[in-house]
Amino acid sequence: MSGLSILFLAIAILAEVGATLSLRMATHGSRLWIIPVAIGYPIAFAMLVLTLAEGVPLGVTYGIWTAAGVALTAVAGRVLFKEPFTWLMAAGVALIIGGVLLVETGVQH
């Protein structure tokens, strides 16, 4: 993966996590949180399209995006909303990191 495609994918992941966390804020508190939701998801999709346009396979892009989104949302939920984060969940995060690294090396061969 080129540096540019990694940057696009990273922004796609952060935009998606930001929008998902804002969605939780919108359902629990101020309705104004719907604004970052409405901005975040389109940015995420635009960045996914740019990542694909850089030539990264869809299977790789989608897998890394989904998994990183799930892992980051779990960690951020712990930090921001005091949601439970157990050793089992930490093991899941470790599995995802290992899987992403493996996919990444597999693409380059």
Partner 1 sequence: MLKWVLLAVTIGLEVMGSLSLKAALDAPGWYVTVVIGYIGAFALLSRVLKLGMAIGVAYGIWGACGVALTALFSALLFGEPLTLPMLGGIALIILGVLTIELGSQRAQRRREREREADAGAAS
Q: By CB under 8 A, name the binding residues for partner 1.
A: 45, 48-49, 52-53, 57-60, 62-64, 66-67, 70-71, 74, 83-86, 88-89, 91-107, 109
* Rounded least distance, CB 99 to partner 1, Å: 3
The answer to whether residues 69 and 17 touch, using CB atoms and an 8 Å cutoff, is yes
Cα end-to-end distance, the chain, whole Å: 11
Nearer residue to partner 1 within complex by CB, 7 or 63? 63
The residue among 7 and 70 lying less far from partner 1, judged by its C-beta, is 70
Query: Residue 1 CB, nearest distance to partner 1 (Å)?
Result: 13
Q: Radius of gyration over alpha carbons of the chain, in Å?
A: 15
Least distance CB 31 / partner 1 (angstroms): 18
Under a CB-based contact definition with an 8 Å cutoff, are residues 76 and 105 in contact?
no
Residue 98 corresponds to which amino acid? G
**Furthest-apart CA pair in the chain: how many Å?**
49
